[in-house]
């Protein structure tokens, strides 16, 4: 059993790596192959993976994760301003600072669970947001947002070219650099920033996979299924949940740091609670508690945000050009409020549908489909992601076994 699990994980890891690295090739045909959007896919993927370590494993629903994203952004940008334009110290510093911040908030918030935990984290995030706007203006630059400046000291860098604001780089490789390669009539854009974030994403995905498979991850799942029972067995669960909280805060800080490395501008609206809501949407949509789900959800939501919000009435009318005019116009009037600037409506609707009918997210949906097909055509084969979905629901397939008994204690 363990052996199959491992080979499955290796396969998943290799597949994931290949897909991420081939990003420009895969995304170009669907109109998403430009650097800015691809970077967003990857960075929000990291954010969602981190959120999933907390919510997916322990079941603690944090509504304040954007605060860590914001803290990460601000601290990384300060490092870029003060220390060096190289992104490495910025990222390290951001992760450390957001980890400390998460330790503080987690220490207080984790004293409560359930809805109180959600409200506490929400309160802390709103507090940080309001502080960033008002009292902390010297650090955050208030409404204008913090950005790079000509007068930045940058003590580690040699004096750069005058009259130009430097752009963040990785030992000389500028994040904005893009190689455009024509391929089959498409322009594939290979961007430095994308690949830096993509490598980090792959590393972070591996880390989360290890956490999912570790004894530590098992304890976290036990917290989700029944914390009281876990406490009665003699485990003190709080250090475990706190560690999970800090890890996920550090993931968020890392994502925030990468955001400013790609685009050196940090604003307080990044910490608003709608931003916290967004990462919740991503994780649920993809599938909370599964490995691949959050990345999937992040990709889908960011794709919709960028592609769907650009569709206007003309485009919709174009789709129905084959139909008679009055019918095309009728369809357009029905559909267009849900696209373009109104795409948030469809996002909210899809999200509600997912929560109502498919609480396991898209991964569960894919599994259901797969089960349907395999049931129709002979005996079925376990895949790694399937395993996750089952582990989450607490009903493992009959083959699965002793190593997972803790998970089985859950009765939903």
Partner 1 sequence: MDAILLQVLNGLDKGSAYALIALGLTLIFGTLGVVNFAHGALFMIGSFCTVTFNNLLSFERVTLSETELSPWGTPLEIHVPYVELWFGELGATMIDYSVFWSILFAIPVMLLIGIVMERGLIKHFYKRPHADQILVTFGLAIVLQEVIKTVYGANPIPQPAPDAFVGSVDIGAMIGMADNAVIYPIWRLVYFLFAGVVIGGIFAFLRYTTFGMVVRAGMADRETVGLLGIDIDKRFTAMFGLAAVVTGLAGVMYTPILSPNYHMGMDFLVLCFVVVVVGGMGSLTGAVAAGFLLGILQSFASMPEVKDFLFGFSIDQVIIYLVAVIILLTRPRGLMGRKGVMET
CB nearer to partner 1: pick between 141 and 147: 141
Question: What residues between 73 and 92 interact with partner 1 by CB under 8 A?
Answer: none
Q: What is the DSSP string of 303-320?
A: HHHHHGGG--HHHHHHHT
CB nearer to partner 1: pick between 168 and 289: 289
Residue 189 — left, alpha, or beta (φ > 0 → left; ψ -120 to 50 → alpha)? beta
Site string for partner 1, 259-278 (x = CB under 8 A): --------------xx--x-
Site string for partner 1, 123-162 (x = CB under 8 A): xx-xx--xx-xxx---------------------------
CB nearer to partner 1: pick between 104 and 179: 104
DSSP symbol at 339: S
Q: How many chain residues bind partner 1 (CB under 8 A)?
A: 41
Nearest-angstrom CA–CA distance, 23 and 75: 29
Least CB distance to partner 1 at residue 186 (A): 34
Please identify, among the stretches 55-63, 205-213, 239-247, 252-260, the one whose residues bind partner 1 according to the rule CB under 8 A.
55-63
Contact 408, 396 (CB under 8 A): yes
Q: Which residues of 200-213 are buried (b: 16+ CB within 10 A; e: fewer)?
A: bbbebbeebbebbb
| Residue whose C-alpha is closest to residue 95's, from 67, 75, 125 | 75
Tokens of 154: 């940058």
Nearest-angstrom CA–CA distance, 399 and 382: 9
Q: How many CB atoms lie within 10 A of CB 392?
A: 27
Is 344 a residue that touches partner 1 (CB under 8 A)? yes
Q: How many CB atoms lie within 10 A of CB 90?
A: 27
Least CB distance to partner 1 at residue 349 (A): 6
Is 280 a residue that touches partner 1 (CB under 8 A)? yes
Site string for partner 1, 229-258 (x = CB under 8 A): ------------------------------
Is 349 a residue that touches partner 1 (CB under 8 A)? yes
CB nearer to partner 1: pick between 196 and 268: 268
352, 368, 380, 397: residue in contact with partner 1 (rule CB under 8 A): 352
Nearest-angstrom CA–CA distance, 347 and 301: 8
356, 372, 376, 378: residue in contact with partner 1 (rule CB under 8 A): 356
89, 176, 359, 365: residue in contact with partner 1 (rule CB under 8 A): 359
CB nearer to partner 1: pick between 35 and 59: 59
Nearest-angstrom CA–CA distance, 339 and 334: 10
Nearest-angstrom CA–CA distance, 202 and 305: 24
Is 61 a residue that touches partner 1 (CB under 8 A)? yes
Question: What residues between 104 and 123 interact with partner 1 by CB under 8 A?
Answer: 108, 111-116, 118-120, 122-123
Nearest-angstrom CA–CA distance, 319 and 348: 24
- The tokens 């430095």 sit on which residue? 192
Least CB distance to partner 1 at residue 112 (A): 6
Least CB distance to partner 1 at residue 353 (A): 9
Contact 43, 258 (CB under 8 A): yes
Least CB distance to partner 1 at residue 245 (A): 16
Q: Look at residue 170 and give its three-state secondary structure.
A: strand
Contact 19, 201 (CB under 8 A): no
CB nearer to partner 1: pick between 131 and 396: 131
Tokens of 191: 């961007």
Least CB distance to partner 1 at residue 248 (A): 16
Is 355 a residue that touches partner 1 (CB under 8 A)? yes
Contact 198, 42 (CB under 8 A): yes
Q: What is the DSSP string of 134-175?
A: TTTHHHH-TTT-EE--TT---TTSPP--TTS----EETTEET
CB nearer to partner 1: pick between 119 and 400: 119
Binding site for partner 1 (CB under 8 A): 59, 61, 63, 108, 111-116, 118-120, 122-124, 126-127, 130-131, 133-135, 273-274, 277, 280, 284, 337, 341-342, 344-345, 347-349, 351-352, 355-356, 359
């Amino acid at each position: 059993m363990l052996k199959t699990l491992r080979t499955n994980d290796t396969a998943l890891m290799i597949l994931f790596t290949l897909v991420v690295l081939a990003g420009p090739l895969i995304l170009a045909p669907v109109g998403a192959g430009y650097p800015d959007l691809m970077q967003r896919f990857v960075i929000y993927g990291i954010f969602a993976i981190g959120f999933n370590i907390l919510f997916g494993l322990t079941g603690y629903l944090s509504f304040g994760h954007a605060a860590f994203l914001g803290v990460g952004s601000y601290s990384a940008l300060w490092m870029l301003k003060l220390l060096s334009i190289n992104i490495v110290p910025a990222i390290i510093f951001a992760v450390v600072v957001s980890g400390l911040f998460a330790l503080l908030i987690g220490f207080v918030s984790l004293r409560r669970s359930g809805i109180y935990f959600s409200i506490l984290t929400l309160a802390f995030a709103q507090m940080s947001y309001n502080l960033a706007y008002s009292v902390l203006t010297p650090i955050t630059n208030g409404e204008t947002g913090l950005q790079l400046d000509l007068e930045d000291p940058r003590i580690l860098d040699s004096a750069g070219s005058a009259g130009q604001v430097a752009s963040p780089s990785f030992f000389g490789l500028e994040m904005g650099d893009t190689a455009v390669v024509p391929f089959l009539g498409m322009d594939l854009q290979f961007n430095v920033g994308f690949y830096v974030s993509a490598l980090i994403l792959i590393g972070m995905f591996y880390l989360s996979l290890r956490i999912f498979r570790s004894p530590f991850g098992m304890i976290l799942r036990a917290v989700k299924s029944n914390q009281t029972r876990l406490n009665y067995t003699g485990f003190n669960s709080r250090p475990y949940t706190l560690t999970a909280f800090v890890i996920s805060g550090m993931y968020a800080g890392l994502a925030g740091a990468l955001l400013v490395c790609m685009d050196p501008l940090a604003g307080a609206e990044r910490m608003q609670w709608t931003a916290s809501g967004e990462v919740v949407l991503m994780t649920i949509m993809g599938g909370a508690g599964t490995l691949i789900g959050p990345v999937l959800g992040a990709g889908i939501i960011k794709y919709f945000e960028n592609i769907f919000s650009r569709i206007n009435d003309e485009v919709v009318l174009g789709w129905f050009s084959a139909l008679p005019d009055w019918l095309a116009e009728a369809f357009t009037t029905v559909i267009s409020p849900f696209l373009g600037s109104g795409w948030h409506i469809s996002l909210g609707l899809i999200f509600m549908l997912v929560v109502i009918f498919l609480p396991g997210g898209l991964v569960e949906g894919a599994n259901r489909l797969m089960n349907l097909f395999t049931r129709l055509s002979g005996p079925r084969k376990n895949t790694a992601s399937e395993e996750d979905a089952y582990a989450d629901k607490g009903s493992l397939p009959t083959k699965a076994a002793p190593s997972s008994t803790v998970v089985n204690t859950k009765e939903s």
